[in-house]
Amino acid sequence: MRIFKDADEMQRWSMEQRISGNTIGFVPTMGYLHNGHLSLIEEARAECDLVVVSVFVNPAQFGPKEDFGSYPRDARGDLEMCEGAGVAAVFMPTLDAMYAKDASVGVNETSLSLGLCGTSRPGHFRGVCTVVAKLLNIIQPQVMVLGQKDYQQAAVLTRMIRDLNFPVELKIAPIMREPDGLAMSSRNIYLTKEQRSQALAIGAALTKAHDCFYAGESSADEIKRQMRAELQENALDIDYVEIVNGLELRPVQSVEMGNVALIAAFCGKTRLIDNCIL
Amino acid sequence: MRIFKDADEMQRWSMEQRISGNTIGFVPTMGYLHNGHLSLIEEARAECDLVVVSVFVNPAQFGPKEDFGSYPRDARGDLEMCEGAGVAAVFMPTLDAMYAKDASVGVNETSLSLGLCGTSRPGHFRGVCTVVAKLLNIIQPQVMVLGQKDYQQAAVLTRMIRDLNFPVELKIAPIMREPDGLAMSSRNIYLTKEQRSQALAIGAALTKAHDCFYAGESSADEIKRQMRAELQENALDIDYVEIVNGLELRPVQSVEMGNVALIAAFCGKTRLIDNCIL
């Protein structure tokens, strides 16, 4: 397995692979890999000759009061996991290798990125779009695999790929959950034992939305009321509870199949997100 | 010579060329090609196996009161000129092929694009960066050739390529001039005979800046005063007269070799730009 810290070297390697006829599947991550990431790597392996994983905690997508500094990191563990998963190359750049001191170019999405996480995390999606545009140019994959857990991110990047004509196909892999239903996330490590148990209310609220809808309820207000009740009973601090249409992420009044129920909530200081396609 | 109107077909062709080992040199244009463009095509041919020229009058880089509607167009003439110059493929998309109705992603440069033309043409460089990012992803060239006449554009795109890691090398080709010194431009067609003669003051003012500097004058204020005088004597309406350092485009006080003198001026309703590296 090759490990690259320099963007130009990574790019050269990718170009050589492309010219020699190999297809590249790419999984962008912020590291501290878990089984959710492994499922993305497996999806990429099924689609392409070679898998490249990037491990980069991207400061540009964190707000000034967010957890950039404390975000969990484990380079050695990540490399072992990638090696075990048959990854061909890991791109693990330093901050300086990714951003020049006078960097002044960014990629902005101005529609899908405004609501939901975009409301509570201004600048987040600009950071995400910019770093993923860079990574796509460096790694030049045919396929990029993202997780459905970051539903809005996947929608925004789908839009970016379309609007900027990136020559890559995007695959969205299903949410991986712990046996008790908590969506896998590197941030779960932050949770105390008690919070870990509280956090189950997020998955429970989504299950409630699902069951409610398939029992015949179509009022978004009523379904969201029940979701909020579930979260509040477990003392979670709600950022948003929303039901949107799948492509434009517009809140709906009357719920239809294919709409998406989404939750962001704080469990102590830890912000968790999860969603469910109805 | 191949002609593509569809972005996906263009992209597929480019990918096939890349995989079969051909290098692509790319010249982005707004059409109405002249000898200035031809010199860019020749530069691209000298560098690469195949040359692709795009012809697209990009509405996103025109302001609401600018000349998008009247910008000169001559598709047949452009194709003939490309054919004669040994171009392998022309990308001539329709508006719909380039921008989805709900397009919401753009590329912003927030430093070099603020002054000079960016001041009088807000949004212009966002339009330029966005369309060139799209064209780079569609055409996937190893080399892109731009003209020095649009000096700020070349600087902004150099920055974009660096900051977003586009896998392309940028070449800047020298300004081509008419025998009397007027910089070649598709917009010269707008000029009446009288304006055409007035417009020579732009080149003359730059020559004055050059001669003045090499005669020992290092005060930017003094050189700019003389440049403005030249333009005003010929009744040109000055947009800006500036001397900047070559990379960051910051106005200088004390002029040094490698600084760039730039002019934008209206000749009637026609806005002309020109520059000279000192």
The pLDDT tens digits for A65-80 are 999 999 999 999 999 9
Q: Which residues of A touch B138 (CB under 8 A)?
A: 165, 167
**For residues A232 and A227, what is the distance between their CA atoms, to the nearest angstrom?**
9
Instruction: For residue B104, give the nearest of A15, A100, A111 by CB distance.
Output: A111
Using an 8 Å CB-CB cutoff, list chain B residues near A18.
Answer: 18-19
DSSP state of B261: E
Amino acid at A90: V
B139 within 8 A of B14, measured Cβ to Cβ: yes
> What is the arithmetic mean of pLDDT over A55-60?
96
Amino acid at A266: F
Q: What is the pLDDT of residue B19?
A: 85
Q: Which residues contact B13 (CB under 8 A, 6 or more apart)?
A: B2, B4, B89
Partners of A277 in the β-ladder: A260
Contact A130 B164 (CB under 8 A): yes
In whole angstroms, give the CA distance from residue A161 to residue A272: 26
How big, in percent rounded to 5, are the helix, strand and coil portions of chain A? 40, 20, 35
Total Cβ atoms within 10 A of residue B84: 11
- Which residues neighbour A193 within 8 Å (Cβ) at sequence distance 6 or greater? none
CA of A142: which chain B residue's CA is closest?
A: B15
Please indicate whether, in this complex, the C-beta atoms of A110 and B111 are within 8 angstroms of each other.
no
Which residues in chain B show pLDDT less than 70? none
Cβ–Cβ below 8 Å for A109 and B104: yes
Mean pLDDT across A84-103: 97
> A170 to each of B19, B273, B275, how far by Cα in Å?
21, 42, 44
Gap from A199 CA to chain B (nearest CA, Å): 34
pLDDT band (50, 70, 90) for residue A19: confident
**What residues of B are in the A interface, CB distance below 8 Å?**
7, 11, 15, 18-19, 21, 99-100, 102-112, 129-130, 133-134, 137-138, 140, 159-160, 162-167, 248
Per residue in A147-156, pLDDT (tens digit) is 999 999 999 9
Helix (H) or strand (E) holding B34: none
Sorted by sequence, the CB contacts under 8 Å of residue A201 that are 6+ apart come out as A230, A231, A233, A234, A236
Instruction: Report CB contact under 8 Å: B111, A129.
Output: no
**Smallest Cα distance from B156 to chain A, Å:** 9
**Distance between A165 CA and the closest CA of chain B, angstroms:** 5
Q: Structure pTM?
A: 0.97
Instruction: Output the CA angle A135-A141-A145, nearest 5 degrees.
Output: 85
Which is the catalytic residue, given A34, A37, A124, A210? A37
The pLDDT value recorded for residue B193 is: 96
Residue A254, pLDDT above cutoff 90: yes
Q: Considering CB atoms only, which of B102, B133, B165 is closest to A7? A: B165
- The SS3 assignment for B70 reads coil
Q: Which of the four pLDDT bands, split at 50, 70 and 90, describes residue A228?
A: very high
Chain B residues in contact with A21 by the CB 8 A cut-off are: 19
- Which one of B140, B164, B248 would you mutate to disrupt binding with A, by most A Cβ within 10 Å of its Cβ? B164
Tell me the pLDDT tens digit for each residue of B127-157: 999 999 999 999 999 999 999 999 999 999 9
Average confidence score pLDDT of chain A: 97
CB A262, CB A275: distance < 8 Å: yes
Task: List the domains of chain A with CATH numbers.
Answer: 2-173 (3.40.50.620), 186-277 (3.30.1300.10)
The alpha carbon of residue A51 is apart from the nearest alpha carbon of chain B, in Å, by 19
Interface probe, candidates B6, B99, B105, B128, chain A, greatest A C-beta count within 10 A: B105
Beta strands in chain A (DSSP E): 2-4, 24-29, 50-55, 89-91, 105-109, 143-147, 169-173, 237-244, 260-267, 270-277
Across the interface, which of B103, B130, B165 has its CB nearest the CB of A138? B165
* Rounded Cα–Cα distance for residues A140 and A149 (Å): 24
CA B199 to chain centre: 18
- Residues of B within 8 A of A23 (CB-CB) are none
Say if residues B226 and B262 touch (Cβ distance below 8 Å). Answer: no
DSSP state of A176: P
B18·A21 Cβ contact <8 A: no
C-alpha–C-alpha distance, residues B195 and B249, integer Å:
29
A169 DSSP β-pair partners? A143
User: Looking at residues A128-153, what average pLDDT do you find?
Assistant: 98
ipTM of this predicted complex?
0.96
